[in-house]
Every structure is written in structure tokens, then in C-alpha cells.
């Protein structure tokens, strides 16, 4: 049996996985074009890189409107403001997500209500959503986690029954589809992130999509100093920030996005191959993909680790051994969001409505398990390589499993 790299043996792999970001002369040309144009901020529509990207991105998802801003977190904030979320309103969100899903809820004065994920998909559990609804609930923020669309049929039915809006956090789900429809405008609105780790990346950036004309006007206003499309430049109709995207960023984003369809095909094919291979290994459960998920953005490849099948080897030790074999897997989030100091210690306005929540008493069992012992993540650049890269991941996992007893004896 080959010796584990952790015990001094030869690693399965020494070659690096694909680097990220990916760029070439086209990106340089686009940035240069925007630079030389001299319109770095606001630009007339026919010269606006931002306006062009908004149209292109919205069309790709089948949405009517796109509004670019400078981050995904900001996009959530203004979408919530435009939906009218405010003081004391309750908004339901999953406990297993990036904090950027939830801080805007606090920012607008509303109360985040954390609910559990479905352990099969790591997306928000519709039954838990329904159980969390109170007379104060105004909306749901489902997260298409890892690039996998949530069960939108179930969520839309719940929203309709209880008269709630849905604002999709599609920060990780560019081009993902539920039943053939692009995510981000299945609910009232949805947002995407272009932060540097994301599959569509310009360093920073975000966009809101919606099919609703009035909502689009409001979202635009909240991103643009409270202006109105009908009003004069120095007419301000609501308290709002300046969250506009720069033309230089949009120029880069356009070129980056032009590579997306090809990169997406590659990630999908590698992820599906890897899922089939890992599913054959006892002790691994790859997250489920429902038949309605007609496109998965594959931001994260996630599978569940069962330490009992590995002779009781703790996940941390498994990960350490995989790293030594040359496979950069991650345990993902180490604690549910509601256990972050900001919530446990309620580090926000002492008069905020969310002070009434006892975050310490929340228990979402699937989330806790994912954080503490179960989740294994691979990030998206790894899926941009060759099939043989996927084989290395599988070979390393088998090698660690077959030698697990040696790690336990230590
Ligand atoms: C990245 C991310 C955000 C925030 O996006 P930023 O552009 O980093 O502000 C929000 N939600 C989820 C699920 C994310 O992955």
C-alpha cells in the first residue's frame, strides 16, 4: 500500500490546480478602452459599459432588468430596501451561508430568522421556512448555495400562501436554472456577486435582477443617491447611498463574462464526473441534485463525510491528509451564522429590533452537522482542470481511506 504523504510518502499530486483569476490581452484591451473613453463613472447610455453589461447579464438569465452595484452584499441591501423591508420585519434566511446574506437584513432594521438547510442539498429547507413564519414575516431570502438552485417550487408556493416576497441570494449561482428558468428573477428579485472568488469575477461587483418595472426603478434609485429616472440630476427622493459600478469595472466584467459559458460547461462536466466517482466510495455522500436543477453553477463542489466509514477518522485529520496528498479541500464554514460573535453578542444598535432574538438558543441540526463534521468543499477553479485532475482527487481520497487506521494509531 503506498505510504501517506502525511507519514512521509509520495503525494498523489504535486501539480497545482488551475489558477484563478483567468485573464489575457482581451481584459487589458477592455480596461484600456474604458480608460481611454474618459467616462469612468456615469456615462451616457450609448457609451456606458455598465448599461451594456446590465442588459447582457439580465438577458442571459431571461430577466427584464439588471442593476449593477459594487458588491453582492450591497445588492442585497438595496433589493431589501426596494422591497420595503424595514424596522422589525422578520426575514427568513438559511443559517448555512456567507454572512453577506444576512448583514443587510440587520442593516435595513429587520430581523433575520435563521432556518435550517436540507442536509441532502445544503439549500434552505422549505418545511423549516414554513414553520418559521409569524405575522411579522415579510419575506424569504433563499440562497442558491454553491450554485445549486433551491427548491423554488416549494418556496414560491409558501410565499404565495403567506403573502411574502422572495429575494434570491444567487451570489454563487450565475446562469443556474430551476426548471429551465434562470435564477435571480424567479422571486421578486435576485442578486449575484462578482467578488474575486466567484465564478464571474471582476475583483468586486454585484448585480440585482428583476422582472418588475417599479421595483427596478426603486432599486436603481437606492443605488444612485435616491434619484428618479424621471427627475433632474439633483433631485433626491429617498435616503440612499451611491453604490454605482464604475465603467472600468464593467468593461472587465464583460470580458470575464464572455468566457463564462465555456467555463461553465467545463465545471459542469468535471463536477458530474467527480460526483459519479465519489458516490462509489462508501462514507461519501455527494450533495443531491434535483431533476429541476437544469443548470448548476458549480461554485462549490460539496460532499458529506461520514467518519464512521473511515474508521472514526475525524474530518480535520482527513482534510490534513488530503492536503498533504496535494488536494486543497476545505471544511467550509466552521460555525452556523447564528453562532458568529456579531449575533451571539448582538453587536448592533442596542435599540435594533433584532435585539429581541436569543441567537444562542437557535439550533439548526443539519447546519450544525455540516459545520462540525460533515461538509467537504472544493472551490470552483479546481473544476476548470482536466478529467485526470478529478481522478487525482478520487485517488487521494481512496488512499487516505485505505490508510486511515495508521492515522488513528498516532
Ligand atoms: C459572496 C456572497 C455574498 C456577498 O457578495 P460580495 O460581493 O462578496 O459582497 C452574499 N451571499 C453569498 C451566498 C455569497 O457567496
The model's pLDDT over 191-236, given as tens digits with 9 standing for 90+, comes to 999 999 999 999 999 999 999 999 999 999 999 999 999 999 999 9
101 touches ligand 1 (CB under 6 Å): yes
Question: Edge to edge, what strands does the sheet with 90-94 contain?
Answer: 65-69, 206-210, 189-193, 165-169, 137-140, 90-94, 111-115
CA atoms of 329 and 281, how far apart (whole Å): 17
CA dihedral 87, 93, 98, 102 (to 10 degrees): 0
377 touches ligand 1 (CB under 6 Å): no
Residue with more model confidence, 409 or 220: 220
Domains of the chain, each with CATH number or no CATH: 25-258 (3.40.640.10), 260-408 (3.90.1150.10)
Residue 409 pLDDT level (bands cut at 50, 70, 90): confident
303 touches ligand 1 (CB under 6 Å): no
Average pLDDT, rounded, for the chain = 97
- The model's pTM is 0.98
Question: Ligand 1 centroid to 208 CA: how many Å?
Answer: 12
CA atoms of 113 and 142, how far apart (whole Å): 12
Q: Which of 173, 195, 204, 330 to mutate to test the pocket of ligand 1 (most atoms within 8 A of CB)?
A: 195
72 touches ligand 1 (CB under 6 Å): yes
β pairing state of 165-169 and 137-140: parallel
Residue that has been written with the C-alpha cell 462540525 in this structure: 372
Predicted local distance difference test score (pLDDT) of residue 111: 98
CB of 74 closer than 8 Å to CB of 107: no
- Is 378 in a helix, a strand, or coil? strand
CA dihedral 328, 333, 335, 337 (to 10 degrees): 170
Task: Tell me: pLDDT of 70 over 90.
Answer: yes
Task: Tell me: pLDDT of 410 over 80.
Answer: no
Q: Residue 9 burial (CB < 10 Å; 0-12/13-18/19+)?
A: middle
Amino acid at each position: 500500500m503506498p505510504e501517506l504523504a502525511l507519514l512521509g510518502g509520495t503525494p498523489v499530486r504535486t501539480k497545482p490546480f488551475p489558477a484563478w483569476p483567468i485573464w489575457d490581452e482581451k481584459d487589458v484591451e477592455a480596461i484600456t478602452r474604458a480608460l481611454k473613453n474618459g467616462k469612468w463613472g456615469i456615462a451616457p447610455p450609448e457609451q456606458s459599459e455598465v448599461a451594456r453589461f446590465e442588459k447582457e447579464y439580465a438577458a442571459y438569465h431571461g430577466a427584464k432588468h439588471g442593476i449593477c452595484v459594487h458588491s453582492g452584499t450591497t445588492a442585497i441591501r438595496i433589493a431589501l430596501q426596494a422591497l420595503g423591508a424595514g424596522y422589525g420585519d422578520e426575514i427568513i434566511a438559511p443559517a448555512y451561508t456567507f454572512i453577506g446574506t444576512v448583514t443587510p437584513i440587520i442593516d435595513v432594521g429587520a430581523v433575520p430568522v435563521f432556518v435550517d438547510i436540507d442536509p441532502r442539498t445544503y439549500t434552505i429547507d422549505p418545511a423549516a421556512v414554513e414553520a418559521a413564519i409569524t405575522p411579522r414575516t415579510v419575506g424569504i431570502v433563499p440562497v442558491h448555495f454553491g450554485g445549486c438552485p433551491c427548491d423554488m417550487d416549494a418556496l414560491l408556493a409558501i410565499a404565495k400562501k403567506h403573502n411574502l416576497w422572495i429575494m434570491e441570494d444567487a451570489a454563487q449561482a450565475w446562469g443556474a436554472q430551476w426548471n429551465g428558468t434562470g435564477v435571480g428573477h424567479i422571486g421578486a428579485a435576485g442578486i449575484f456577486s462578482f467578488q474575486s472568488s466567484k465564478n464571474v469575477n471582476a475583483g468586486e461587483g454585484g448585480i440585482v435582477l428583476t422582472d418588475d418595472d417599479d421595483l427596478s426603478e426603486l432599486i436603481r434609485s437606492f443605488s444612485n443617491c435616491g434619484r428618479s429616472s424621471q427627475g433632474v440630476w439633483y433631485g433626491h427622493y429617498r435616503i440612499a447611498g451611491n453604490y454605482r459600478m464604475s465603467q472600468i469595472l464593467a468593461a472587465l466584467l464583460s470580458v470575464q463574462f464572455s468566457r463564462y459559458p465555456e467555463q461553465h460547461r467545463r465545471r459542469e462536466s468535471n463536477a458530474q464526473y467527480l460526483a459519479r466517482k465519489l458516490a462509489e466510495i462508501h462514507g461519501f455522500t455527494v450533495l443531491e441534485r434535483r431533476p429541476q436543477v437544469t443548470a448548476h453553477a458549480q461554485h462549490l463542489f460539496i460532499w458529506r463525510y461520514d467518519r464512521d466509514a473511515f474508521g472514526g477518522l475525524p474530518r480535520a485529520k482527513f482534510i490534513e491528509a488530503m492536503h498533504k496528498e496535494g488536494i486543497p479541500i476545505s471544511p467550509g464554514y466552521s460555525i452556523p451564522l447564528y453562532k458568529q460573535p456579531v449575533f451571539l453578542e448582538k453587536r448592533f444598535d442596542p435599540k435594533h429590533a433584532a435585539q429581541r432574538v436569543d441567537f444562542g438558543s437557535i439550533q439548526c441540526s443539519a447546519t450544525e452537522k455540516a459545520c462540525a463534521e460533515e461538509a467537504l468543499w472544493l472551490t470552483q477553479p479546481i473544476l476548470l482542470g482536466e478529467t485526470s485532475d478529478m481522478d487525482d482527487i478520487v485517488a487521494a481520497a481512496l488512499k487516505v481511506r485505505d490508510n486511515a487506521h495508521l492515522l488513528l494509531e498516532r
